[in-house]
Amino acid sequence: MHLYKTSQQILLAVLLFFLTQSTNAQKKISFDEGWKFHFGHATDPSKDFKYGVANIFSKTGGAFETAIDPGFVDSGWTNLNLPHDWAVSLPFDHSQNLDVESHGFKKVGGLYPETSIGWYRKHFKIAKADSGNRFQLQFDGIFRNARIWVNGIYTGNNLSGYLGVNYDITDFINYEKENVIVVRVDATQYEGWFYEGAGIYRHVWLKQLNNLHIANDGIFVSANVKGKDAIVSVETSIENKGFKGANGILLTYLTDRNGNKIASAAPQNLILSSRSDLRIKQNLTLSNAHLWDLNDPYLYRVVSEIKVADQLIDKQTNKFGVRTLRFDAKEGFFLNGKHVKILGTNNHQDHAGIGSALPDAMQYYRIDLLKKMGSNAYRTSHNAPTPELLDACDSIGMLVLDEQRLLNSSNEYMDQFERLIKRDRNHPSIFMWSIGNEEGWIQTTSIGKRIAQTLLAKQLELDPTRTSTYAADLPNFFKGVNEVIPVRGFNYRHMNVADYHRDHPNQPVMGTEMGSTVTTRGIYEKDSIRAYVPDQDITAPWWASRAEEWWKLAATNNYWIGGFVWTGFDYRGEPTPYRWPNVNSHFGIMDVCGFPKNIYYYYQSWWTDKDVLHISPHWNWKGKEGRPIDVWVNSNADNVELFLNGKSFGKKEMPRNSHLQWSVNYEAGKLEAVAYKKGKRLTSSVETTNEASNILIESSKTILQADGKDVSVINISILDNAGREVPDANRLIEFSLTGDAKIIGVGNGDPSSHEADICAEGKWKRSSFNGKCQVIIQSGKSNSTIHFEASSNGISKASLELNSH
């Protein structure tokens, strides 16, 4: 039975926003906190709050006896804050359905009606004094097919699981009593063939605006470099949503990263009739422009203000970078006039323990890991990324290939493409758009060609400063999309790139997906029972290649712009080459936690100038005494000599873009490599360890912002009594936490682990996998000393103190 309450009985169980009486600059208020959640049901209306049988569209606001009704009692629903991915907490199901398998065997999708509909409700209040303003509700990402109501009034339907949506809810606001947002999320239909999560997994915002304001995503900044200077073009779209005409002044100026004003445009008079819009283009000269670059990602700010009678009524600040992009069919890609080989990775958006609902700090953590490996580019496979990922790439210095979900020119997908470009085009990290991926039904047909032409025309209309590619899983084949795409993208088929370039020498080429080597961290034998593959560059599916096979071609031929490895991180879903009990992919250069696999050091050797000398495997092979062990060394040194317990196994010259191998009969002790790089001596070793004795805790940071959002990534390693990491330690570890913080997820990188990523409060635990596991801690809102402890039976526990301010 469902309970309802009258307006006199309504109790506020939410965060109230007391907005002062003002027509000042735009306010963008986080609406992540204070939500209620409950599962619905995809096939049983009685378990879905009568959705589907109650006539909710017969009268505006008429939603009586449903969860849409503002008076519906939701006190029994789960309290939570956003972002929220409900799928990460669901159990695994050994389904034979290939779509369920590709989504990581989680019980979400059309086969699971009881866990594929989610209802969200939020109560909030707006002061009557603010009734002269406009209000917009912005969702950055919901998976998927979300229907939204405000105070029982239907507001809209966003089908995309990846692109956000913005609604003007001004007309629906109550100023005398509380307001209620209701969102019904329908995740029964998949969009991809990989883990996608479910729910409101990105941020939500409430925007308070004057009737005269800058349009949503209404500023486009670009720069034309002229010698040492740059002409910065700023296009500003302005709306008057009022019922009377409005006059004002637009002020546009540039600042450096410290906020110092460095250039200003002439003030522009604004005269808008009621319910009209206007677009203004202004040019500003930036002297001695500081270029945005991979190693110096300098960001300027463009500040746009609207004033009426000297009163500021809207203000937006957008970061932007000044740089040049050039693509040459023979010589490759040039950033700021310098040749840059694309050293890219493809990535999905989930992370161990937290699924798709990543706190903002996790985006920076992951991009930083990729950059340390040597990567300089990121493909948002195969969908619009969260805006915070682009912010991280802008500030850290990582190029981005920003991808449209589908090659489709219908109204729905043209609208999605337009929203994508308008939202993202000010990010200097984006160097190219992708209009789609592996559309096997149409990519070689005239239909595919026409769709591509329509998308390309829209891209040039909205952003003439960039070009596009399409990720085609095709060999030397031209018909269809490839006829019109400016940059030919190759998904695999690396052996066909040279022939395609020979036949089409004026079309730049790039590896949009390369590699797909499958490896399991710390495993050195195929194991079809546990579904593991060796942690070396030796195994790839039929369509793919080993790292050395594709990279040797890309590295030595300038007409290769470069390539994007599939993938930087393992991800939930697409278990390959095995199926159950695998629930994760093996494709990553790092596992789902970001722990490096051995192939990481291959790419780091040839993608950086760092001194790399890495030996694998580990040297714990009890029971294999006297038997040969295949030893690999990844390095960018000139030569390497291998020693076991002081005995040399010979010196070898290091082939460029390759690795070295020795066969060494096992005996316990110390395996050591000595290398020389341009005369500099490098050493590295692995040793036979004793049994597990201690726990090592390392954190991404120990000082957190007390904002309820910041996170520290805690990496756990198992050590012996000599302080050496035990590489084959698989032990259950329990975690405890005191202070104003919480654990939000745990993981270990085991692609066949069925342990819970989300545990009950006070019962957090995870097994280490080959010596490692991970805990993600999120701060509270008060200044606090946070005490974290990790313990395991039979070994010494360890602790760490963090502080939030």
What phi and psi, each to the nearest 5 degrees, are found at residue 754?
Answer: -110, 15
Q: 191, 239, 513, 725: which is the annotated catalytic residue?
A: 513
Helix (H, G, I), strand (E, B) or coil at 413: helix
Which strand (E) or helix (H) includes residue 743?
strand 741-747
CB 383 within 8 A of CB 107: no
* Cβ-proximal residues to 31 (8 Å cutoff; 6+ apart), any chain: 82, 122, 124, 137, 181, 203, 204, 205, 206
Active site residue 418: no
Q: 438, 439, 574, 672: which is the annotated catalytic residue?
A: 438
For the chain, the farthest-separated pair of C-alpha atoms sits apart, in whole angstroms, at 89
β-pairing, 179-186 vs 430-437, is unpaired
Active site residue 549: no
Report the alpha-carbon distance of residue 247 to residue 396 in Å, rounded.
Answer: 41
Report the alpha-carbon distance of residue 598 to residue 532 in Å, rounded.
Answer: 15
Report the alpha-carbon distance of residue 597 to residue 751 in Å, rounded.
Answer: 13
Q: In what order do the strands lie in the sheet with 613-616?
A: 613-616, 628-635, 660-665
Signed CA dihedral, 461, 463, 466, 470: sign only: negative
Report the alpha-carbon distance of residue 175 to residue 318 in Å, rounded.
Answer: 32
Radius of gyration of the chain (CA): 28
Identify the CA nearest to 383 among candidates 402, 398, 399, 366: 402
DSSP string, 633-694: EEE-SSEEEEEETTEEEEEEE--TT--EEEEEE--SSEEEEEEEETTEEEEEEEE---S--E
Report the alpha-carbon distance of residue 534 to residue 616 in Å, rounded.
Answer: 11
Tokens representing residue 662 in the block:
């020795």
* Cβ-proximal residues to 320 (8 Å cutoff; 6+ apart), any chain: 221, 223, 232, 299, 300, 301, 302, 426, 428
**Which residues does the annotation mark as catalytic?**
438, 513
